[in-house]
Amino acid sequence: MIEAVGLTKRYGAKTAVYNLSFQVRPGTVTGFLGPNGSGKSTTMRMILGLDRPTSGHVTIGGHPFRQLPNAPRQVGALLDAKAVHGGRSARNHLLSLAQLAGIPARRVDEVLGVVGLQDVARKRSNGFSLGMGQRLGIAAALLGDPQVLLFDEPVNGLDPEGILWVRNLMKALAAEGRTVFVSSHLMSEMALTADHLIVIGRGQLLADMSVKDFISANSADFARVRTPQTEPAQRDKLMGVLAEAGGQVLSEPDGALRVTGLPLPRISDLAHGADVRLWELSPHQASLEEAYMRLTQGAVDYRSTTDQRAGLMQQPDPMGYAPPQPVVPDVPQQGWYAPPPPGQNPYAGGQQPTGQPAQPPQPHAVPHQPAPTAPAAPAAPAVPPAPASAPADLSKSEDAR
C-alpha cells in the first residue's frame, strides 16, 4: 500500500504539491488524474524517492522508498519510457537492470514475452517506435515481479490492440493483490481500467473515491432534446414548459437542449401537451470525462482561447462564479475562479455581486504593490543595408547562372 500524509513540495517560491494525503490500496487499479502542471509527476517522483518532500511523508508498505531493501523487487515504475540507452538492445537493457537488482536472467526473457517484444529483443532500442518503447518500459517495471507498480501514461503511443493489452494487464495485476497506481489523461480508458480515483488540481486533493461515486458526484444523466430548426418559437416554448415542470434546461451549440431533472417519458408528455414536435429525445449517461472536466475546470492553467467560442467550456454558474476552490498559502490564484459577469469591473472598489457575501481577506494575501517602471532599453544600432545584387539573367540555365 502507498500512503501519503501531508505531502508538500516547493521549488523556491512555487508550490507544486500542497498538503496532499491519500492511500493507494492493494487489489485495485487506482487512477491518478489531474490537469497538466497539477503535480502528478512530482507526486510520483516523491513516492519513488527521486524528489524529497518539503514537508510531509510518503511510504510504501510502511517504509520510505529509500529504506526498502532491494527496492526493484518490491516496487516497479514506468515514468519515462525514453530513459533507455539507445545503443543497447531491449534484452541487454533489461539484463543490466536485472544484474543490478540480483534478478535471474531468465526473468528478462519472461517479461519480454509478456510485453510482446520477444521477436525484437536483440534489436537496438533507438530504432523502436514510441509504442515499442512503452512496452519496454512496462517490461522494466515488471522485471522484479513487484507488489507495487506505478505507471505514468502507460498507453502513450500504443495502438488500439496495445491499449487493450495494457488495460487487461493492469486489471490482472490488481486481481493478484498488487497495488497498481496509474496516471493517464485518457478519460475513456481510465473509466474502463480504474476502480478508484485520486484527482488533484494545482497540487491539492480534489477527489478520492470510486469511479462510480466520482461520476455521480460531479455529473448527471441528461436527456438530449431537439426540435425542428425552422421553428425557433417552438423551441423557446418547450424550454419554458420544461423549466416550469422543474427541469434544468441548457442550450447546446448545435441548437439542441440538454435537460436534467426530468425523465424521458415526462419530457415526451410535456412536449405533446404543449403541441411541440420533437426530432430527437435521447438519453445520455454521465461520463467520467464530463465529471472530470466539471471538477477540474478551475484548476486548468493552459486553456485555448477558442474553447469558449467552440462551446467547449462548461456553462458558468449564476453571476459567473464557479464553486470556490481551496486556497494554497503563498501561491497566486490567478485563473482559479471563473470571470465576473460581462460589464462588471472586478477591480472596482471591492464591490461584491448581488447575493454574494463579502469574502474575508486571506491571512497570507500579499498587498498589491505597483510594479517598478523599467528603464528604457537603449536604441539598437542601425543595420547597414544589404548590398544590391545584380538582377538574374533568366534567359540562362540555372547551372550557367
User: 231-248: per-residue pLDDT in tens?
Assistant: 889 999 999 999 999 999
Confidence band, pLDDT 50/70/90 cuts, at residue 365: very low
Q: State the pTM of this model.
A: 0.69
Residue 17 confidence class, pLDDT cut points 50, 70, 90: very high
* Model pLDDT for residues 254-275, shown as the tens digit of each residue: 889 999 989 999 999 999 999 9
- Asked if residue 209 has pLDDT above 80, the reply is yes
Q: Cα–Cα distance between 323 and 336 in angstroms, integer?
A: 10
Residues of the chain with CATH 3.30.70.100: 219-289
Of 401 and 33, the structure prediction assigns the larger pLDDT to 33
Helix axes 90-101, 106-115, angle to 10 degrees: 130
- 40-79 pLDDT, tens per residue? 999 999 999 999 999 999 999 999 999 998 898 999 999 9
Q: Could you tell me the pLDDT band of residue 86, with boundaries at 50, 70 and 90?
A: confident
Calpha distance 273→258 (Å, rounded): 19
Average pLDDT score over the chain = 80
- CB burial of residue 362 (10 Å; 0-12, 13-18, 19+): exposed
C-alpha dihedral, 376 to 377 to 379 to 385, nearest 10°: -140
For the chain, what percent of residues have pLDDT higher than 90? 55
Residue with cell 473509466: 191
pLDDT at 395 over 80: no
- Residue 176 to residue 143: CA distance in whole angstroms: 16
Can you tell me the distance from the alpha carbon of 28 to that of 172, in angstroms, rounded to the nearest whole number? 10
Q: Is the pLDDT reported for residue 389 higher than 60? A: no
pLDDT at 320 over 50: no
User: Which CATH number applies to 219-289: 3.40.250.10, 3.30.70.100, 3.65.10.10, 1.10.10.60?
Assistant: 3.30.70.100
Statement: residue 278 has pLDDT above 80? yes
- Edge-to-edge order in the sheet of strand 55-60: 14-24, 2-11, 55-60
pLDDT at 167: 94
Q: State residue 84's pLDDT score.
A: 80
Are the CB atoms for 88 and 118 separated by under 8 Å? Answer: no
- pLDDT above 70: percentage of residues in the chain: 74
Least confident span in 57-71, 202-216, 260-274, 352-366: 352-366
Report whether pLDDT(346) > 90: no
pLDDT digits (tens, 9 = 90+) for 114-125: 999 999 999 988
- Please determine, looking at this structure, whether the domain spanning 2-210 carries the CATH number 3.40.50.2000: no
Pick the more confident residue, 358 or 174: 174
- What pLDDT was estimated at residue 289? 86
Cell representation of residue 216:
455521480
pLDDT at residue 303, as a whole number:
59
pLDDT score of 23 more than 80:
yes
**What does the alpha-carbon distance between residue 239 and residue 189 come to, in Å, rounded to a whole number?**
35
Query: In the predicted model, what is the mean pLDDT of residues 88-110?
Result: 92
Please list the residue range(s) of the chain that carry CATH number 3.40.50.300.
Answer: 2-210
Check residue 80 and give its pLDDT. 83
